[in-house]
Structure 1
Amino acid sequence: MTTDTFGNFSRPRHDVDRSASLLKHLYLVEREQMRALAAKHIGIESWTAKNGPPRHWWLASRHADSLRERVLELRYPRRDVDKDHDPGLTAFLGELTKGGADAEFLLGIYRVLRPGLAAGYRAYVAEADPIADAPSIYQIEHILFDYERAQADGEAFLASLDPASVEVAMRWVDYLSRSLESIGGILGLDSVAEPPRDHPCAGRPDYVVPQKCVRPKEFAPARVESPGRAPKNHREQQVWYAIDHANEVWAAEAPGGFMWQMPKMPWAFFTDVARWSYDEMRHVQLGARRLDAWGFEMGVDYPMVGDPVDAIYEQGGGPLELLALLYYFEKDAPAHRMVTKKEFTAMDDTDTAIDTDYDWADETIHLKYGFTWLQHIVGASKPDELKALVERAGEMWNTWIAERWARGEDGYGPFMERIEARISATAAGHER
């Protein structure tokens, strides 16, 4: 006996298992894009390209999180979203960080990975049921909105690169493009082929996060970020504080590195440190914006360094000590920012006061991040060990910075001369 069914309704569409499988591909790509951008950030030299990626990997963390939740909704009660990924896609994503220097890596992300990812999203929507799978479509439409703006940023990053380095890097672009084609694209919907194992760019070693923050070669060399004396007046206080803000770039680079160095941490760790990095890079931009308005040239009139990273790694520390040092700095930040905001408000510097207020809000969140993940690593039952770790990281910093000044290795002399000259010129201009 056959079942009598209505006709006149038929359209190609994913069933739940197929939707979950494809969304899991997209989640994995967003996750690994986030980790790759974050891990390579410390080694990027172009300031234009250094400035923007933290926003992009924070967006990728948001996209990955929403896709991850959608997969879990569709597959409930199954919880296998973070395992059993497609091996071909996993292998392709593992190649991203092997791109060298600025040009190879950035071209690989913005000319190969991201266009392929956008094509995957559009292919998913083209076959998705607009009613049954409406939540997925909603998420993807908003992801593609973010994608267009971020891709425009990416083109600006690429435009900042030396044309000769871009030309050399095209061989890497060819390798990644062929690798992506060999797995049938991001979703594996196209024909597959053997990966380009005989390509000149194949077989590179796995990426290791550098232990030194790279800065543009046109920046003057320096070892420490802050002047070695207290400010003498309000103008100096404004400039000192802005220089500290501008140099928080290391605090964006360090959490970015953690994503690569601590791959087995819980998913919430990655979303937290992605936000942490983005916040710190926004603080950099706030300080640089004020200094630029006051006539200071970055890397010329004031230093741009990663001295806390140097302090940890040069004394034999590792990522855990660097995380502890971040927390060491953050734990007193909210109270300090509250006082600082009042001081700048009193001197009628509303711009710095407002920037400080937003900074204060961010640092309160970061304080929670630092404690939560240090406790996770050290163990909730070991508060004394956690306290000792943070104190040791602080001692490493204090020892290192004191030694730089005591040995005359600070490199600050030329910067101090230019800073004082700029402040004097500004003061003279206001007096006329």
Structure 2
Amino acid sequence: MNRAIIDNKGIPPLAGICTYEEACKPGFTVDRSVELLKRFNYIAKMLNQTLAAHLARVPEWEVKCAFGYHLWLDAEHSAAIRKRVSEMREPPLGLDHVPDERLHDWLDEAIRAENTVELLVGVYRVIRPELILAFNRYLNEMNRIAEHPTYRLLRGMLQEEEEMVAWGEQALEALVQTPEQTASAAQWEAHLRAFLKAAGGVDGSDVSEPCTAVPRSDGQRYEMDPAPQRDERFIDPYNTSAKIDSYPWEEDSSPEEKAYSLIYKRLREMDVPEWMGPILYRIEGKPWEYYTDLSRQLWDETRHAMLGEIGLYYGGVPFYKYPIPLGASMILNTDLTPTEAHLILWRIEQSLMPKQTGKQKEWEIASETGNPISQLIQDYDWADEVLHAQIGRKWLVPDYGSLAATTEIADHAMRAWGQAAAKTATWSEQKEWWPAFIEEIRENQKRLASSNI
């Protein structure tokens, strides 16, 4: 029923956001809105931490790639919610407090997944779908004009959550192949839903029931397994016989060798997200902006590895056919502290800035090879690395007082890493493979050229 007849001259009123009738909804009070947003924020934060804790350990490359992307989105979602809450109430905001211990218990179970399937079930079949339901409930009940900034925020987050769930379901379809796996996945889902039921749902408004499931949690913070893993497709993961770092600089190297040495360097960057995951999860007590910045850097490094994957596809070679070393992340994750690992990461980024030997030079070499994919990759890799050097400087230099002091401490960590990493050379026969790889690339170029691809 219309309460009044209004002449809007045929123009949609209220900026087209909703009708007058919809705008008369009482919606949520500011206090209730803040309460719900804090719950959403806590879930986004815990999703970021869950994926960071497991990225190195999951063996499937494709899952690592998705985790690198999704944990960055989770960090961004949390940052956006935090900003919105700060607009609605004066400090203290309490955004780093647990909003509901029962919510904590639910998410603390999910992070204790014992394999990839359990992890995907928890994150993509339980947590994110329930978050989507809560977002939709909020959007349906809210007053879109009174709290339009929240409406816009949740609509964007909803789309990304739906896209993540769609990926997770496809991944589970691929990984769950047997009746036993199906039963195990269903059992883990039921386990997590029992804890969710006890919490009254994501927004706490559902009827809760006491949880009778036996928790895996011992009440202590989850201890992640930092040792990186790769699945059965990947061979000889400690083989560093190919001196890829030197090939682009040799004047007598062929264009193919220059282009694909740079592409392969990007492919190898998967070890960076594998060592950044433990940094994100193990270093506690920083401002959320720290985790957002590092999540962005982790996603960029994941993209670089994916660009390497694409570059090899362009050359007709499966990305897993030849060795992709993981010794760097293995030693950094198991022999050094997360702070040392971050210092080393920053020191490496700093070393890539000089024009004559760094990222600009790599881009120039890639441009000269005539390989358009190599040039594209290096163009964006260069831009990303400039940002990464700034991120490291932003968060590390203030802790040590000066750039010089930070550099000295980082160099000390680099030496410790080099000494510890020397042992990984003995974990492989170091069989040379690079000439066979380049020969395959050349043969593929001939084949693709004759096929007009």
Aligned to 1:373: 395
Amino acid at match of 1:245: R
Aligned to 1:86: 100
Aligned to 1:321: 340
Verify: 1:98 aligned to 2:119, yes or no.
no
Verify: 1:268 aligned to 2:286, yes or no.
no
TM-score by length of 1: 0.89
Q: CA deviation at 1:19?
A: 0.8
Aligned to 2:214: 198
Residue 298 of structure 1: which of 319, 326, 334 is its match? Answer: 319
Q: CA deviation at 1:431?
A: 10
Native 8 Å contact 1:219 1:298 kept in 2 = no
Aligned to 2:16: none
* Partner Cα distance (1:225, 1:281) in 2: 20
Residue segments in structure 1 that go unaligned for 5+ positions in a row:
1-7
Verify: 1:352 aligned to 2:374, yes or no.
yes
Are the structure 2 counterparts of residues 364 and 226 from structure 1 closer, same or farther at C-alpha, using a change threshold of 3 Å? farther
Superposition pairs of residues 65-214 of structure 1, within 5 angstroms:
65-83=79-97, 85-164=99-178, 165-198=181-214, 206-214=221-229
Aligned to 1:233: 254
Residue 234 of structure 2: which of 219, 225, 240 is its match? Answer: 219
Q: CA-to-partner distance for each residue in 1:62-97, whole Å, 9 max, x for gaps?
A: 111111111111112433222252111122222221
Native 8 Å contact 2:363 2:379 kept in 1 = yes
Q: CA deviation at 1:38?
A: 1.8
Aligned to 1:309: 329
Are the structure 2 counterparts of residues 291 and 73 from structure 1 closer, same or farther at C-alpha, using a change threshold of 3 Å? same
Are the structure 2 counterparts of residues 99 and 425 from structure 1 closer, same or farther at C-alpha, using a change threshold of 3 Å? same
Q: CA deviation at 1:103?
A: 0.6
Q: CA deviation at 1:350?
A: 2.7
* Partner Cα distance (2:421, 2:218) in 1: 41
Percentage of pairs with the same residue: 24
* Partner Cα distance (2:444, 2:32) in 1: 65
Q: CA deviation at 1:412?
A: 3.8
Q: CA RMSD in A?
A: 2.6
Are the structure 2 counterparts of residues 339 and 403 from structure 1 closer, same or farther at C-alpha, using a change threshold of 3 Å? same
Q: CA-to-partner distance for each residue in 1:383-431, whole Å, 9 max, x for gaps?
A: 55422321123223444555655x5x44441633641441453476599
Are the structure 2 counterparts of residues 50 and 77 from structure 1 closer, same or farther at C-alpha, using a change threshold of 3 Å? closer
Are the structure 2 counterparts of residues 226 and 160 from structure 1 closer, same or farther at C-alpha, using a change threshold of 3 Å? farther
- Matched residue of 2:325: which SS? coil
Q: CA deviation at 1:235?
A: 1.5
Are the structure 2 counterparts of residues 123 and 424 from structure 1 closer, same or farther at C-alpha, using a change threshold of 3 Å? closer
Q: CA deviation at 1:272?
A: 0.4
Are the structure 2 counterparts of residues 10 and 419 from structure 1 closer, same or farther at C-alpha, using a change threshold of 3 Å? closer
More displaced 10-residue stretch of structure 1: 322-331 or 281-290: 322-331
Q: CA deviation at 1:251?
A: 1.2
Aligned to 1:5: none
* Partner Cα distance (2:294, 2:170) in 1: 25
Q: CA-to-partner distance for each residue in 1:150-176, whole Å, 9 max, x for gaps?
A: 222112221231424443232211110
Q: CA-to-partner distance for each residue in 1:360-390, whole Å, 9 max, x for gaps?
A: 11111111111222234xx242655422321
Native 8 Å contact 1:311 1:397 kept in 2 = yes
Q: CA-to-partner distance for each residue in 1:217-271, whole Å, 9 max, x for gaps?
A: 2211320456137434222222222121111112122222222101211111110
Verify: 1:288 aligned to 2:327, yes or no.
no
Native 8 Å contact 1:37 1:57 kept in 2 = yes
* Partner Cα distance (1:139, 1:98) in 2: 30
- Matched residue of 1:371: which SS? helix
State how many pairs are aligned.
418
* Partner Cα distance (2:255, 2:375) in 1: 13
* Partner Cα distance (1:84, 1:424) in 2: 57
Are the structure 2 counterparts of residues 186 and 346 from structure 1 closer, same or farther at C-alpha, using a change threshold of 3 Å? same
Amino acid at match of 1:357: D
* Partner Cα distance (1:255, 1:340) in 2: 24
* Partner Cα distance (1:102, 1:137) in 2: 34
Are the structure 2 counterparts of residues 29 and 93 from structure 1 closer, same or farther at C-alpha, using a change threshold of 3 Å? same
* Partner Cα distance (1:225, 1:145) in 2: 42
Aligned to 1:4: none
* Partner Cα distance (2:348, 2:241) in 1: 15
